[in-house]
């Protein structure tokens, strides 16, 4: 095929049916800066059935069947089933499976199948004749394609809408990005307009103007804050009511909204040729935790909100992170948060190279065995000095590499002559490098290189991907789900954590606590520098002994690396409530990092969104004073006095997520649900409420006085008592309530 190769990045893989034939559409941007569309009609929708099921499959409509040269993971040969169009697959698949005929890869999306079979992940190289397109610069018909490595800089346009009180009418749209900073108004121009404001004259005219401006500014990415769940639904409803075509794309076709099925799939907004990346979805998909996913506290001005979204995305590098994850996983940037889909794409691509096919995902509702978790030791409660924390870097990925854990390498019933590695849970794996260990073997050095180069985005993207591999193997919606494999990983982790604890204690050091990949070791020395030196010596010793243990017991080279993760100058392991034993996954400590000392919390109220800001602030202050050997009594007494006088009311708001509509709670009615039922508008997924003399009420619509004694008993006392108990103090005496008790 004539022409030179040129690199590009895929924004959106899709397909359309033209004259009864499915045509793959790959929309994206080229290295030259031009936009492009690849159209390819050469792939036929297909899936597979076992050759042994050929006769029954044909009777059920799977005809004709063709040799594929491929095998299932079990080694059985499979035949290829072709269908005219992708929508023809589900009914045939269901018919076959209902009759007991197993299918393979009958649920893989057609456009993704196209990329999987070509090994293309995010970036591509294209060669062929092209023509100018309508909405894109270049259109390629059935070109040559190859995988490539190129990272684009995508253009981003943020928008925000304002509506009437019932969110039925669009009043204005703010646009920011791609050189624009403007507000489109539905009103007519009467007198002087604010700067950067454009009067459309009516709501219908506003919608048409918005669509035209998006096409003129031509962004790669459309974004907003809750745009997928608020702005787009309102826009599409209004457009439908007014008969306005909401054509925002680089090609013909309407803007569509696809609601996620279940908790593993987010809502998608599909605009031909463009990405829609919602701000909160990017934050959550990057595993960044925020107390509130709202812009209300900053501004209600249209243009300001749109600008703030762009600033947040730029500051956190969220678009760049989505692009990097796309290049790693092969998924389009608006789907990279799906770890199951990412694993699917990578593993199916590798299987394709081996002429193997994977099973279709099992239907929901089937019973699945319980998954084992990481091992946790019971902590020894108390306040300690100079506690070392050693952990295994990337524990689960390292276990997968060390012990050849892999779906393809799993042996359900090993024979006496099979050379296998047997996990503590009994699962067996062939003693050879499988797909998953090899993928991780490539990712580990790539991450180290990214870290060395200061490329935090690439390093974090690889970390997210590697850490997801264990989770998807234990997820029933993953086609490679196997409880034996997932439990093999955790069983190795448990055994090696216990072995490491025993080795350390055999050397005379006390292990105070352990959790999955970490051990908390009492150094027994007063000088922090001496504790650090001790930690480095323990790391070297443990790595050497661990490697020898793996070689001796399992005959495998160790890919595990123990490192000194942290030194706690002071560490408090609290007791469990209503008991003397230690509380698992709950502790606080004083650390020194970059020359500054700070208190860090794990599992305690200070890092939990469902506790009030007052409780979190008080806990941080109390532990800071405890670790600095400062008194706590006067501070705590003064705080309770101010609380009772109403001086801290703004810090008394609870925030709790609702997993379902308020009316769906029938067996019980938690406080946030009670408050949600009292709202004048339908609540969002996060409910802000307070406790009053009349019970829970919405924070923004409170009708009764706050119940300050509730907050003393349920917020201040629980965070204070662990510290007070350690100091031999009673809460009632410290805050002055004991005098009232003495009267009885």
Please indicate whether residue 260 or residue 463 has the higher confidence score (pLDDT).
463
- CA distances to 183, 219, 232, 677, 718 from 277, rounded to whole Å, are 21, 12, 12, 31, 40
In which domain, by residue range, is 187 found? 156-316
pTM for the whole structure: 0.87
Q: Is the pLDDT of residue 472 over 50?
A: yes
Least confident of 338-347, 576-585, 612-621: 576-585
Least confident of 123-137, 159-173, 488-502, 596-610: 596-610
Asked if 403 and 497 sit in the same domain, the reply is yes
Asked if 143 and 169 sit in the same domain, the reply is no
Number of domains comprising the chain = 3
> Which pLDDT score, from 0 to 100, does residue 263 have?
46
Asked if 139 and 278 sit in the same domain, the reply is no
Angle of helix 203-217 versus helix 232-242 axis, rounded to 10: 120
Q: Is the pLDDT of residue 476 over 80?
A: yes
253 occurs within a structural domain? yes
For the segment 654-686, what is each residue's pLDDT rounded down to a tens digit?
Answer: 998 877 778 778 778 899 999 989 988 777 667
Closest C-alpha among 233, 287, 223 to residue 255: 233
Residue reference for tokens 């008394």: 652
> Which pLDDT score, from 0 to 100, does residue 291 have?
45
CB 478 within 8 A of CB 358: no
Kindly state the helix (H) or strand (E) to which residue 492 belongs, with its residue range.
helix 483-506
Asked if 250 and 173 sit in the same domain, the reply is yes
Asked if 454 and 587 sit in the same domain, the reply is yes
Q: Is 570 exposed, middle or buried (0-12, 13-18, 19+ CB in 10 A)?
A: buried
The proportion of the chain whose per-residue pLDDT surpasses 90, expressed as a percent, equals: 74
CB 429 within 8 A of CB 403: yes
Least confident of 40-54, 241-255, 323-337, 603-617: 603-617
Asked if 422 and 544 sit in the same domain, the reply is yes
Q: Is the pLDDT of residue 17 over 90?
A: yes
Q: Is the pLDDT of residue 742 over 50?
A: no
602 occurs within a structural domain? no
237 occurs within a structural domain? yes
83 occurs within a structural domain? yes
Q: Is the pLDDT of residue 292 over 60?
A: no
Q: Is the pLDDT of residue 295 over 50?
A: no
Rounded to an integer, the average pLDDT of 44-69 is: 95
Last-in-domain residue among 316, 349, 370? 316
333 occurs within a structural domain? no
Per-residue pLDDT band for 99 (boundaries 50, 70, 90) equals very high
Q: Please list, in sequence order, all residues whose beta carbon lies within 8 angstroms of the beta carbon of residue 132, skipping any fewer than 6 positions away.
A: 138, 139
Tokens of 239: 């457009």
Q: Is the pLDDT of residue 637 over 70?
A: yes
> Which pLDDT score, from 0 to 100, does residue 715 have?
95
Per-residue pLDDT band for 741 (boundaries 50, 70, 90) equals very low
For the segment 348-392, what is each residue's pLDDT rounded down to a tens digit?
Answer: 999 999 999 999 997 665 556 666 778 889 999 999 999 999 999
CATH of the domain at 94: 3.30.342.10
Q: Please list, in sequence order, all residues whose beta carbon lies within 8 angstroms of the beta carbon of residue 14, skipping any fewer than 6 positions away.
A: 24, 25, 27, 111, 270, 272
Last-in-domain residue among 294, 316, 338? 316
CATH of the domain at 286: 3.30.420.10
Q: Is the pLDDT of residue 264 over 60?
A: no
CATH of the domain at 512: 3.90.1600.10
Q: Is the pLDDT of residue 290 over 60?
A: no
CB 588 within 8 A of CB 601: yes
For the segment 503-543, what is each residue's pLDDT rounded down to a tens digit?
Answer: 999 999 999 999 999 999 999 999 999 999 999 999 999 99
3-state DSSP call for residue 687? strand
> Which pLDDT score, from 0 to 100, does residue 192 have?
66
CB 275 within 8 A of CB 332: yes
> Which pLDDT score, from 0 to 100, does residue 297 have?
32
640 occurs within a structural domain? no
204 occurs within a structural domain? yes
Tokens of 615: 């409780």
CB 699 within 8 A of CB 688: yes
Cα–Cα distance for residue pair 403/557, rounded to 1 Å: 9
> Which pLDDT score, from 0 to 100, does residue 606 have?
67
Per-residue pLDDT band for 81 (boundaries 50, 70, 90) equals very high
> Which pLDDT score, from 0 to 100, does residue 737 have?
83
360 occurs within a structural domain? no
Asked if 108 and 73 sit in the same domain, the reply is yes
Asked if 441 and 577 sit in the same domain, the reply is yes
Residue reference for tokens 């091992």: 375
Q: Is the pLDDT of residue 220 over 80?
A: yes
**What is the rounded average pLDDT for all residues in the chain?**
90
CB 600 within 8 A of CB 588: yes
Q: What phi, psi does 25 have (nearest 5°)?
A: -120, 120
Per-residue pLDDT band for 570 (boundaries 50, 70, 90) equals very high
Least confident of 284-298, 559-573, 645-659: 284-298
Q: Specify the DSSP class assigned to residue 251.
A: S
> Which pLDDT score, from 0 to 100, does residue 298 have?
27
Asked if 180 and 78 sit in the same domain, the reply is no
> Which pLDDT score, from 0 to 100, does residue 364 have?
60
Strand partners, 309: none
Asked if 476 and 540 sit in the same domain, the reply is yes
Cα–Cα distance for residue pair 661/639, rounded to 1 Å: 37
Asked if 544 and 431 sit in the same domain, the reply is yes
Q: Radius of gyration over alpha carbons of the chain, in Å?
A: 30
Asked if 222 and 280 sit in the same domain, the reply is yes
> Which pLDDT score, from 0 to 100, does residue 294 have?
40
Q: What phi, psi does 44 have (nearest 5°)?
A: -105, 135
Cα–Cα distance for residue pair 534/525, rounded to 1 Å: 9
Q: How many helices (H) and strands (E) does the chain have?
A: 21, 32
Cα–Cα distance for residue pair 201/188, rounded to 1 Å: 4
> Which pLDDT score, from 0 to 100, does residue 661 have?
77
Cα–Cα distance for residue pair 639/653, rounded to 1 Å: 17
Last-in-domain residue among 261, 284, 316? 316
Please indicate whether residue 662 or residue 434 has the higher confidence score (pLDDT).
434
């Amino acid at each position: 095929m004539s022409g030179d190769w040129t690199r590009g990045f895929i924004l959106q893989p899709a397909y359309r049916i033209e004259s009864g034939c499915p045509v793959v559409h790959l929309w994206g941007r080229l290295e030259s800066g031009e936009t492009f569309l690849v159209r390819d009609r050469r792939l036929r929708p297909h899936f597979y059935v076992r050759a042994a099921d050929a006769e029954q499959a044909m009777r059920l409509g799977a005809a004709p069947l063709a040799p594929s040269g491929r095998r299932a993971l079990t080694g059985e040969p499979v035949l290829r089933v072709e269908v005219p169009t992708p929508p023809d697959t589900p009914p045939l698949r269901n018919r076959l499976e209902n009759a007991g005929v197993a299918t393979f890869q009958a649920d893989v999306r057609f456009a993704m199948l196209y990329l999987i079979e070509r090994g293309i992940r995010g970036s591509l190289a294209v060669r062929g004749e092209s023509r100018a397109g309508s909405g894109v610069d270049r259109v390629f018909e059935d070109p040559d394609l190859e995988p490539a490595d190129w990272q684009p800089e995508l253009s981003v346009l943020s928008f925000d809408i304002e509506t009437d009180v019932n969110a039925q009418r669009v009043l204005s749209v703010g646009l920011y990005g791609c050189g624009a900073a403007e507000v489109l108004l539905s009103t007519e121009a009467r007198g002087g307009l604010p700067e950067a404001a454009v009067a459309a004259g009516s709501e219908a005219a506003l919608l048409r103007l918005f669509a035209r401006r998006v096409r003129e500014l031509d962004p790669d990415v459309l974004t907003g804050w809750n745009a997928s769940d608020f702005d787009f639904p309102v826009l599409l409803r209004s457009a439908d009511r007014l008969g306005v075509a909401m054509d925002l794309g680089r090609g013909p076709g309407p803007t569509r909204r696809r609601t996620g099925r279940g908790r593993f799939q987010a809502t998608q907004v599909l605009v031909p040729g463009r990405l829609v990346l919602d701000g909160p979805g990017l934050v959550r998909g990057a595993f960044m935790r925020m107390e509130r996913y709202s812009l209300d506290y900053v501004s209600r001005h249209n243009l300001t909100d749109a600008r703030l979204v762009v600033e947040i995305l730029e500051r956190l590098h969220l678009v760049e992170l989505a692009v990097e994850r796309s290049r790693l996983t092969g998924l389009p940037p608006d789907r990279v948060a799906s770890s199951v889909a990412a694993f699917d794409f990578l593993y199916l691509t590798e299987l394709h190279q081996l002429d193997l096919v994977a099973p279709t995902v099992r239907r929901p509702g089937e019973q699945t065995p319980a998954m084992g978790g990481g091992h946790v030791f019971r902590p020894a409660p108390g306040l300690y000095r100079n506690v070392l924390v050693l952990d295994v870097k990337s524990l689960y990925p390292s276990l997968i590499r060390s012990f050849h854990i892999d779906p393809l390498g799993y042996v359900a019933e090993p024979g006496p002559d099979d050379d296998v590695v047997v996990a503590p849970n009994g699962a067996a794996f062939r003693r050879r490098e499988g797909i998953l260990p090899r993928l991780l073997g490539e990712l580990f050095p790539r991450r180290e290189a990214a870290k060395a180069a200061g490329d935090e985005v690439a390093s974090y993207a690889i970390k997210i991907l590697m850490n997801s591999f264990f989770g998807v193997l234990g997820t029933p919606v993953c086609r490679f789900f196997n409880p034996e494999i997932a439990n093999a990983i955790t069983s190795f982790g448990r055994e090696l954590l216990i072995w490491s604890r025993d080795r350390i204690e055999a050397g005379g050091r006390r292990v105070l606590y352990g959790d999955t990949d970490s051990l908390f070791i009492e150094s027994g020395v007063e000088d922090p520098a001496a504790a650090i030196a001790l930690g480095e010596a323990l790391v070297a010793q443990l790595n050497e002994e661990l490697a020898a243990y793996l070689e001796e017991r399992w005959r495998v080279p160790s890919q595990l690396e123990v490192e000194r993760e942290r030194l706690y100058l002071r560490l408090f392991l609290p007791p469990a409530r209503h008991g003397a034993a230690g509380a698992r996954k709950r502790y606080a400590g004083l650390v020194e990092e970059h020359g500054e000392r700070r208190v860090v919390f794990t599992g305690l109220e200070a890092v939990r969104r469902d506790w009030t800001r007052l409780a979190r602030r008080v806990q941080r202050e109390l532990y800071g004073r405890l670790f600095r050997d400062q008194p706590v009594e006067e501070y705590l007494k003064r705080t309770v006095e101010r609380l009772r006088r109403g001086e801290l009311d703004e810090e008394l708001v609870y925030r709790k997520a609702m997993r379902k509509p308020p009316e769906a709670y029938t067996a019980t009615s938690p406080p946030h649900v009670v408050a949600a039922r009292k709202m004048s508008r339908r609540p969002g997924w996060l409910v802000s409420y307070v406790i009053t003399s009349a019970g829970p009420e919405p924070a923004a619509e409170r009708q009764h006085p706050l119940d300050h004694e509730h907050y003393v008993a349920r917020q201040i006392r629980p965070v204070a008592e662990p510290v007070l108990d350690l100091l031999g103090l009673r809460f009632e005496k410290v805050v002055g309530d004991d005098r009232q008790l003495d009267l009885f």
